Amino acid sequence: MTIALDLAYVAPTSLEDALGQLADGDATTVLLAGGTDVIARLRDDAIQPTRLVDIKRIPGLSSVEIRKGSLHVGCLVTFSDLLASDLVQDRFPGLEEMARLVASVGIRNRATVVGNICSAVPSCDAGPVLLTHDAVIHTTSPAGERAIPIDRWFVGPRRTAIEDGEIVTHLTVPVPRNHHGAAYARLSRTRGEDLAQASVAVLLEPGHRYRVAFGAVAASALRARRIEALIAGSRVDAELVDRAVDLVHDEVAPITDVRATAHYRLRMCEVMLRRALTAATGRAAGDGPRYDVALI
């Protein structure tokens, strides 16, 4: 099985050059970073670009560091890079928990976090966790730079707020306050390779400030605002967890596909919300489950 396309390939060494390649209207251009999605789609004939712009030779796009109170994640940072970062381990355990659950080592070594939210499949793992962390996506184009809050980023399956000619250079994630608790529960059929069938992310910051998001149960990852409103400001106990779980069917709209039925997804969202809320609350208090123990 080969790729039957007449493709041009360029590997610019500066962002300006890459933007110029994107702006050149003579070609249908696709950006290439880790390629775990793009190459699979090329092989499937799901996309037919005439030119690939490989951005991996552009310097300065691989940093994972704190800048102005936020984690700066360059667009070439892979899931393995996140896992290898002491900074992420110490201050963003929720991102680490998520990265560990993505596919397998061989994919994580290549797949980028930014690529994951740019391909924007409904089951993307970074989506729900970055939603709970109030991440911001930063783009650049000849028209200038834009900062797009992640809750306005996903607009549908494989559709985002990116505009023609733009490149996502990095995303930023505000440092969660001390004594926060995060949780990401991810349901899949097999360990290693499967996409998420459904997922739930929770972030609890001091002052009972909860963020809740779901993945793979709607057209794109989404914040669960009704659940957040219900539990905001309260100490989450068993009774409140029950009431939050009762709202799940108002928040998500799962479909039936080859990986799970809508009914199963919905029921498991309830189970996972219960576990994630309990785990995040416990972790914030210092007595929750370890971050490297899968919640489901």
Partner 1 sequence: MRHAITLRVNDEVRTLDVEPSDVLLEVLRGRVGLTSPKAGCERGDCGACTVLLDHRTVRSCLILAVEVDGHEIVTVEGLGIDGLTALQERLIELSAFQCGYCAPGVILSAAELLAETSDPTREEVQEAIAGNLCRCTGYAPIVDAVLAATRAPAGAPTPEV
Evaluate whether 186 touches 115 at the Cβ level (below 8 Å): no
Instruction: Find the binder of partner 1 among 15, 27, 30, 103 (CB under 8 A).
Output: 103
Interface with partner 1, residue 107, by CB under 8 A: yes
Q: Phi, psi at residue 4, to the nearest 5°?
A: -95, 70
Instruction: Find the binder of partner 1 among 47, 105, 229, 255 (CB under 8 A).
Output: 105
Report the site for partner 1 in 108-147 (rule: CB under 8 A): 109-110
Select 191 or 235, whichever has its Cβ closest to partner 1: 191
Evaluate whether 55 touches 76 at the Cβ level (below 8 Å): yes
Q: Where are the alpha helices (DSSP H) in the chain?
A: 15-23, 38-43, 79-84, 86-91, 93-101, 105-108, 113-119, 126-132, 225-231, 238-246, 248-251, 262-285
Interface with partner 1, residue 191, by CB under 8 A: yes
Q: Phi, psi at residue 146, to the nearest 5°?
A: -130, 150
CA distance 283 to 280: 5
Which span (34-42, 115-123, 210-218, 244-252) binds partner 1, by CB under 8 A?
34-42
Burial grade of 102 (CB within 10 A; 0-12, 13-18, 19 or more): buried
Select 126 or 248, whichever has its Cβ closest to partner 1: 126
Which span (37-45, 118-126, 138-146, 174-182) binds partner 1, by CB under 8 A?
37-45
CA distance 238 to 95: 26
Which span (33-41, 150-158, 206-214, 251-259) binds partner 1, by CB under 8 A?
33-41
- Least CB distance from residue 125 to partner 1, whole Å? 15
Interface with partner 1, residue 52, by CB under 8 A: yes
Residues in contact with partner 1 by CB under 8 A are 1-9, 11, 32, 35-36, 39-40, 42-44, 52, 54, 56, 80, 103-107, 109-110, 191-193
